[in-house]
């Protein structure tokens, strides 16, 4: 799945993946990460998610990454924020108050560009990537954030019944990607009403990933 695929979906407003409400798992479980007041939360492949507004309302600072500039223009408009835009090579940084979003390929981000990260919130990134890219993504994410603790939301269903996002990411796969640097805790497994685009059964899995001390 190429970058152009996602850019065209935003250009055509083909964004059925965009949730109109704040994800209930964020509201319910993010406090389990014990992020300090004014801590910085990294939201990868964020789109224009309303979850960012929730994080800002809780007095967190948010740094995100998103391929589509259209999405980020819409995000700042929805928040009534006027962004300062700075170009860093192939990336652009949209910034206002406690919000900073890097626009471009997430694999072009570095630890220096991202800065200090106190926690990661991944609702839509891992499940948006095909299997061939997920290992590269998880290795890059842990590298640029120094293994910051993470609230990760995935879904599990029979992937053979359909092609495309959101991809099914099993508990075993999450373990394979992350067990070397995190202690993993599955805190919720909840049936998804009506499944994933009609494929049933389907479940949402909510993970807490805590940095290993060793």
pLDDT tens, 20-36? 789 999 999 999 999 99
Are 66 and 43 in contact by the 8 Å Cβ rule? The answer is no
pLDDT bin (cut points 50, 70, 90) of residue 17 is low
Is 123 assigned a ligand-binding role in the annotation? yes
pTM of the model: 0.94
- At residue 4, the pLDDT reads 76
Report pLDDT digits (tens) over 53-110: 999 999 999 999 999 999 999 999 999 999 999 999 999 999 999 999 999 999 999 9
**Who has greater pLDDT, 8 or 60?**
60
**Would the pLDDT of 16 be above 80?**
no
- At residue 14, the pLDDT reads 60
- Residues 6 or more apart whose CB falls under 8 angstroms from that of 139 comprise none
3-state class percentages of the chain: helix first, strand second, coil last, to nearest 5: 35, 25, 40
- At residue 210, the pLDDT reads 97
Superfamily grouping for domain 3-10+22-211:
Vaccinia Virus protein VP39 (3.40.50.150)
Q: Over the Cα atoms of the chain, what is R_g?
A: 16
pLDDT bin (cut points 50, 70, 90) of residue 2 is low
Maximum Cα–Cα distance across the chain: 47
Nearest to 205 by CA among 213, 214, 196, 197: 196
Range with lowest mean pLDDT among 13-17, 35-39, 148-152: 13-17
Report pLDDT digits (tens) over 122-171: 999 999 999 999 999 999 999 999 999 999 999 999 999 998 899 999 99
Q: How far is CA 186 from CA 113, 148, 153, 206, in A?
A: 31, 17, 10, 6
Is 10 assigned a ligand-binding role in the annotation? yes
Is 66 assigned a ligand-binding role in the annotation? yes
């Amino acid at each position: 799945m190429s970058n152009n695929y996602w850019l065209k979906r935003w250009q055509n407003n083909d964004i059925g993946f965009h949730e109109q409400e704040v994800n209930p798992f964020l509201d319910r479980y993010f406090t389990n990460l014990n992020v300090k007041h004014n801590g910085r939360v990294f939201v990868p492949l964020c789109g224009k998610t309303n979850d960012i507004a929730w994080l800002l309302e809780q007095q967190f600072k948010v740094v995100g990454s998103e391929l589509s500039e259209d999405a980020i223009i819409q995000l700042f408009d929805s928040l009534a924020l006027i962004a300062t835009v700075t170009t860093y090579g192939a990336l652009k940084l949209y910034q206002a108050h406690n919000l900073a979003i890097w626009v471009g390929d997430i694999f072009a981000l570095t630890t220096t560009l991202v800065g200090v990260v106190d926690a990661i919130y991944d609702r839509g990134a891992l499940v948006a990537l095909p299997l061939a890219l997920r290992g590269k993504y998880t290795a890059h994410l842990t590298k640029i954030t120094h293994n910051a603790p993470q609230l990760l939301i995935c879904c599990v269903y029979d992937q053979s019944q359909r092609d495309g996002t959101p991809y099914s990411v099993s508990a075993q796969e999450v373990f394979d990607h992350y067990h070397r640097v995190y202690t993993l805790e599955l805190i919720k497994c909840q049936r998804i009403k009506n499944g994933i685009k009609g494929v049933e059964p389907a479940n949402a899995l909510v993970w807490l990933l805590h940095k290993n001390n060793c």
